[in-house]
Amino acid sequence: MGLKPLIEITGISFGYTKKTVLSDINLSITKGEVVALLGPNGCGKSTLIKIILGLLRPASGGIFLNGDNIRNLDSRYLARKIAYVPQTHKSSFPYTVLDVVLMGRIPHKTFFFRYSNKDMKIAKDALERLSILHLASRAYTEISGGERQLTLIARALAQGAQTFIMDEPASGLDYGNQLKLLDQIVKLSREGYTFVKVTHSPEHALWIANRAVMIKEGKIVADGPCDDVINTDNLFRLYNARVNVLKFDHGPFNVCVPQTICGCMGTSDNCNLSVLGKSQKVMQCQ
């Protein structure tokens, strides 16, 4: 008998006016999983996570959290269970980093409230957990993109949520901050936190995700362990790009390497600019 789903998506369909965006989406996510949603722009990934968050109502189907339809759940209750980490977040006001993290405590408060000593401790513990407590008094508007993403994760931790929905969280981050972000996701998943992560990087999915779910034209076209699903054929099917997925003999990670980059991505038949075996030797394009 398999694990009981934490989030179960059954027969979800959705459209804007005359355009169908999602069609008959079925997906189960268990506690502690890191699930990567992959697909080209406009395929419906962001729409799906908005439906999971209860921000959009599907035309048909349902979203269930621990067996309960989210339509029947109070918004404050849902906010205490699922946190959203956006792709980019800009504040118009120079809140401190601690202020931003404290906002995660709002779902636990009544309309008129003050932050308690307990709230302060929870917020500072979340910052310390992500090794950014030293930023607590800094203005959120003045820290780096990577530091802002870690701050948003700290806010989600302070929120008390066990499930994080992330929309391209590494977008716009430099390489070092991308790795720091991925490292924190892995650490939290090992503690039982669940992640549903939209990404445009198949490599990020290969490195940290348990599963890859590929979406194209509003439908799931592949779903399974990353090492099985993320392969040359599926990447071509998804992105119309010829990519080799290579595993190094002396390393734990797979990498994605394009077969060609020379203006003839559609076919490599007459191109010598290609990856040759595991040596990754690149030749001049004729």
**What is this structure's pTM?**
0.84
Q: What is the pLDDT along the chain (286 residues), one digit of tens a residue?
A: 456 889 999 999 999 877 889 999 999 999 999 999 999 988 999 899 999 988 899 999 999 999 999 989 888 888 889 999 887 666 667 889 999 999 999 888 877 778 889 999 999 999 998 889 999 999 998 998 888 888 998 999 999 889 999 988 887 788 888 888 899 899 999 999 999 999 999 999 999 999 999 999 999 999 999 999 999 999 999 999 899 998 877 767 888 888 877 655 555 455 554 444 444 444 444 4
What's residue 89's pLDDT?
Answer: 60
pLDDT value, residue 259: 83
Residue 106 confidence (pLDDT):
87
Predicted pLDDT of residue 124: 95
Q: Count of residues for the chain?
A: 286
